[in-house]
Chain A
Amino acid sequence: MGTKTDALHSYLKAQNALYRQQAQTLLADDRGDESHFETIRANIFEIFDTVLSAGEKACAGDPDRIRQFFSRKLEQIPASWSASYEQARQHGDTETMQVERIKLEAARTIARTADQIWRE
């Protein structure tokens, strides 16, 4: 499990670095808003990397508990983003919708990858 947690950390760090790099590239290409969106996406990977570290600490290295902790956070944290997206949709607030959509997409990607890593 230690290696699986390590694999998940590596994935989250790599995605964080990748999207930050893309944000830089977009900014250099005068695409400020899209660069901002990629930074938001990178932040989500960074947040969940921190959550995973917190899980390791809180669960004293117990693999099953770490997995449960991380899965629970992957449901709890995006719940407010879904609510915010729905509220923005009702008010036609495209900018907030776009931001919340990116955060939710990133969380879903992390959930899928974490599931794969833990099932391997």
Chain B
Amino acid sequence: MTETEAIRLFKCLSDKSRVQILKSLAIEDMYVERLAERLGITAATVSFHLKKLTEAGAVTSHKSQYYTMYSLNRGLFAVSLLDILQEESDEADLLAQRDAEYRQKVIDAFFVYGKLKAIPAQQKKRRIVLEVIAGAFEFGRTYTEREVNLQIADFHDDFCTIRRDLVTEGFLTRDETGYRRVMLSHPES
């Protein structure tokens, strides 16, 4: 388990309702309504907690007839706390992790369900956003300007500005045949 995974799990566990859900699942697999009845909270609230527990890897689910049954991930809880504390994290990994977290934060702030809310003014954030949009283009394929515009329009209405920025920032190249995605020599951070 990585440090990030461990922190996510501990954060998730620091809630009495979630601990009680896990205690119930330690007895047997259960579905949402059964857990809600048992714990005296609404089914919607149980679903919310189960989503968090699933994301943290503490719980898994499977279909059984009409119900989605939830199970305790016993493998995860078999790991000792000492094992987690003894997990080494080198500086390079930490830096990469911080960069990835920053990148994700920017993406979360600027994209809502895959749509770009606004074009960032700050250069670093703008590059991250452009890199996400560039990801929609295939390597080795030549796109017409219309195809590029359509692809960008899926993210934001101002496709002219973004198309120009993609070229200026080196994510796309343009010649008389059309536009192509550029393979970057180093991964963006």
Inter-subunit contact A32/B14 (CB<8 Å): yes
Say if the beta carbon of A73 comes within 8 Å of chain B. Answer: no
Say if the beta carbon of A62 comes within 8 Å of chain B. Answer: no
How far, in whole Å, are A30 and B20 apart by their CA atoms in the complex?
Answer: 12
Query: Chain B residue with minimal CB distance to A87?
Result: B113
Q: Tell me which residues across on chain A come within 8 A of B73, comparing CB atoms.
A: none
Contacts A32-B14, A34-B41, A98-B48 given; 13 further ones with Cβ under 8 A?
A29-B16, A30-B14, A30-B15, A31-B15, A31-B16, A33-B17, A33-B48, A33-B49, A34-B45, A37-B45, A95-B51, A98-B44, A98-B45
Q: Tell me which residues across on chain A come within 8 A of B47, comparing CB atoms.
A: 94, 98
Inter-subunit contact A31/B17 (CB<8 Å): yes
Inter-subunit contact A95/B15 (CB<8 Å): no
Inter-subunit contact A94/B51 (CB<8 Å): yes
How far, in whole Å, are A95 and B49 apart by their CA atoms in the complex?
Answer: 9
List 12 A-B residue pairs with CB atoms under 8 Å apart, sorted by A's residue number.
Answer: A30-B14, A30-B16, A31-B16, A31-B17, A33-B15, A33-B49, A34-B17, A37-B45, A93-B113, A98-B47, A98-B48, A101-B44
Task: Report which A residues bind B (CB closer than 8 A).
Answer: 29-34, 37, 87, 90-91, 93-95, 98, 101
Within 8 A of A (CB), among B129-157: none
Q: Tell me which residues across on chain A come within 8 A of B14, comparing CB atoms.
A: 30, 32
Task: Report which B residues bind A (CB closer than 8 A).
Answer: 14-17, 41, 44-45, 47-49, 51-52, 113
CB distance from B187 to the nearest CB of A (A): 27
Q: Tell me which residues across on chain A come within 8 A of B52, comparing CB atoms.
A: 33
Q: Tell me which residues across on chain A come within 8 A of B17, comparing CB atoms.
A: 31, 33-34
Q: Tell me which residues across on chain A come within 8 A of B41, comparing CB atoms.
A: 34
Q: Tell me which residues across on chain B come within 8 A of A87, comparing CB atoms.
A: 113
CB distance from A28 to the nearest CB of B (A): 10
CB distance from B38 to the nearest CB of A (A): 16
How far, in whole Å, are A32 and B45 apart by their CA atoms in the complex?
Answer: 12
Inter-subunit contact A32/B15 (CB<8 Å): yes
CB distance from B173 to the nearest CB of A (A): 34
CB distance from A84 to the nearest CB of B (A): 10
Q: Tell me which residues across on chain A come within 8 A of B16, comparing CB atoms.
A: 29-31
CB distance from A93 to the nearest CB of B (A): 8
How far, in whole Å, are A34 and B36 apart by their CA atoms in the complex?
Answer: 14
Inter-subunit contact B113/A94 (CB<8 Å): no
Query: Chain B residue with minimal CB distance to A37?
Result: B45
Q: Tell me which residues across on chain B come within 8 A of A90, comparing CB atoms.
A: 113
Q: Tell me which residues across on chain B come within 8 A of A93, comparing CB atoms.
A: 113
